[in-house]
């Protein structure tokens, strides 16, 4: 388990009953998490003074209940990176703080390469990896089918002072875009992907992780440069082992380098508890 333990503006204060109590800057939120299957709270008093709670509906979906005044949106920092946060539908805030593990790794890989690196970030969401890679000095192509998420990513780039860096923002279906890049013979030194379990592209194209991930990885190897730096798959799909992600990379990347896989997680403050949050498979040169 690789743990994102370098945060100052984010922390888990407690976990119990399928919920996590979190501090995002000065804002305290309660959000559901299916991994938290134990019932006992470690710090019951901390749950009494919160800004908002996301309640799941028995009919599906859910909504936020606000307990006291809080900003509509605000910023938090991770080291030199700045991100814009706001409560949104389906419990999200626009950032997955456990991804800091991957950001640190990408930044170190890019800086240590001592050369110009072109990064392709697929299913790029609000651009956490885009911001990290750009900060490290890479040029980035950011691809996501949601116009709203892409706008949010641009805001994160600007908030981190990176708006003059070479970043292409593409609103498109990932598979269609990669196929176009193959035809154009565009190549990338690093590929990052964070595919959803299920999703739809810009024109309603259906994506199912189990059915489509292997084909996508094979497709993406066709846009890898002759001297690539890394290929990272991140996933939150329930029931998929991180070993599977490494296996898929091994089947498709025929270059020398190191393959690995694992879990990423978040620590709970004043505790030895770790919340598992996602999995990864990666190849690196």
Burial of 181 (0-12, 13-18, 19+ CB in 10 A): buried
Question: Residue 267's domain is classified under what CATH number?
Answer: 3.40.50.150
Same domain, 152 and 255: yes
Same domain, 136 and 24: no
Query: pLDDT tens-digit profile of 244-254?
Result: 999 999 999 99
Q: Is 125 left (phi over 0), alpha (psi -120 to 50) or beta?
A: left
- Residue 141 has what pLDDT? 98
Assess whether pLDDT exceeds 90 at residue 203. Answer: no
- Residue 157 has what pLDDT? 98
Q: How many domains does the chain have?
A: 2
Task: Out of 5-14, 63-72, 104-113, 265-274, pick the least confident.
Answer: 63-72
Q: How confident is the model at residue 70 (pLDDT cuts 50, 70, 90)?
A: very high
Q: Pick the closest to residue 98 from 129, 134, 56 (CA basis).
A: 129
Instruction: List CB contacts of 95: < 8 A, sequence separation 6 or more.
Output: 76, 83, 85, 126, 128
Assess whether pLDDT exceeds 90 at residue 201. Answer: no
Same domain, 64 and 143: no
Task: Out of 65-69, 81-85, 224-228, pick the least confident.
Answer: 65-69
| Contact of 65 with 30, CB cutoff 8 Å | no
Cα 218 to Cα 190: distance, rounded to the nearest angstrom: 14
Domain boundary among 60, 85, 110: 85
SS3 20: strand
Q: How confident is the model at residue 277 (pLDDT cuts 50, 70, 90)?
A: very high
Q: What are phi and psi of 182, to 5 degrees?
A: -65, -45
Tell me the two tokens of residue 46. 């901390």
Same domain, 274 and 183: yes
Q: What are phi and psi of 59, to 5 degrees?
A: -90, 0
Q: What is the CA radius of gyration of the chain?
A: 19
Cα 266 to Cα 35: distance, rounded to the nearest angstrom: 12
Same domain, 20 and 142: no
* Helix, strand, coil % over all residues of the chain, rounded to 5: 30, 35, 40
Question: Residue 76's domain is classified under what CATH number?
Answer: 2.60.40.1180
- Residue 56 has what pLDDT? 87
**Mean pLDDT value across residues 89-111:** 96
Q: Higher pLDDT residue, 198 or 42?
A: 42
Domain boundary among 85, 116, 150: 85
- Residue 202 has what pLDDT? 73
Position 92 in a domain: no
Query: pLDDT tens-digit profile of 12-57?
Result: 999 999 999 999 999 999 999 999 999 999 999 999 999 999 998 8
Same domain, 74 and 131: no
Cα 242 to Cα 23: distance, rounded to the nearest angstrom: 28
Same domain, 186 and 207: yes
SS3 259: strand
Cα 227 to Cα 225: distance, rounded to the nearest angstrom: 5
Position 199 in a domain: yes
Same domain, 133 and 78: no
Q: What is the pTM of this model?
A: 0.95
Same domain, 81 and 124: no
Domain boundary among 51, 85, 119: 85
- Residue 273 has what pLDDT? 98
Query: pLDDT tens-digit profile of 138-181?
Result: 999 999 999 999 999 999 999 999 999 999 999 999 999 999 99
The residue segments making up the domain with residue 154 are: 97-284
Position 12 in a domain: yes
Q: Pick the closest to residue 161 from 73, 87, 75, 71 (CA basis).
A: 75
Q: How confident is the model at residue 61 (pLDDT cuts 50, 70, 90)?
A: confident
Buried b (16+ CB within 10 A) or exposed e, 153-175: bbbbbebbebeebebebbbbbbb
| Contact of 24 with 85, CB cutoff 8 Å | yes
Same domain, 194 and 163: yes
Same domain, 72 and 186: no
Cα 253 to Cα 188: distance, rounded to the nearest angstrom: 14
Position 90 in a domain: no
Same domain, 56 and 126: no
Q: What is the mean pLDDT of the chain?
A: 96
Assess whether pLDDT exceeds 90 at residue 243. Answer: yes
Burial of 258 (0-12, 13-18, 19+ CB in 10 A): exposed
- Residue 74 has what pLDDT? 98
């Amino acid at each position: 388990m690789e743990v994102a333990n370098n945060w100052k503006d984010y922390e888990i204060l407690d976990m119990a009953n399928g919920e996590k109590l979190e501090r995002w800057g000065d804002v305290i939120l309660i959000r559901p998490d299916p991994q938290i299957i134990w019932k006992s709270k470690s710090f019951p008093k901390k749950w009494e003074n919160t800004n908002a709670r996301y309640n799941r509906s028995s009919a599906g979906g859910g909504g936020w209940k606000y307990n006291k005044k809080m900003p509509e949106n605000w910023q938090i920092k991770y080291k030199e990176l700045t991100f814009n946060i706001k409560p949104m539908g389906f419990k999200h805030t626009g950032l997955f703080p456990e991804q800091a593990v991957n950001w640190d790794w990408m930044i170190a890989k890019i800086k240590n390469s001592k050369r110009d690196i072109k990064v392709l970030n697929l299913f790029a969401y609000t651009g956490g990896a885009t911001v990290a890679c750009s900060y490290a000095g890479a040029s980035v192509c950011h691809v996501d089918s949601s116009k709203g998420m892409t706008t949010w990513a641009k805001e994160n780039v600007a908030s981190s002072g990176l708006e003059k860096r070479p970043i292409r923002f593409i609103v498109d279906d990932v598979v269609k875009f990669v196929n176009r890049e193959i035809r154009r013979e565009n190549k990338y030194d690093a590929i990052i992907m964070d595919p959803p379990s299920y999703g739809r592209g810009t024109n309603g194209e259906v994506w199912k992780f189990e059915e489509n991930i292997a084909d996508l990885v094979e497709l993406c190897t066709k846009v890898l440069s002759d001297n690539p730096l890394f290929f990272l798959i991140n996933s939150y799909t329930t029931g998929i082992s991180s070993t599977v992600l490494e296996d898929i990379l091994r089947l498709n990347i025929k270059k020398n380098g190191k393959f690995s896989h694992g879990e990423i997680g978040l620590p709970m403050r004043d505790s030895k508890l770790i919340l598992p949050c996602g999995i990864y498979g990666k190849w690196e040169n």
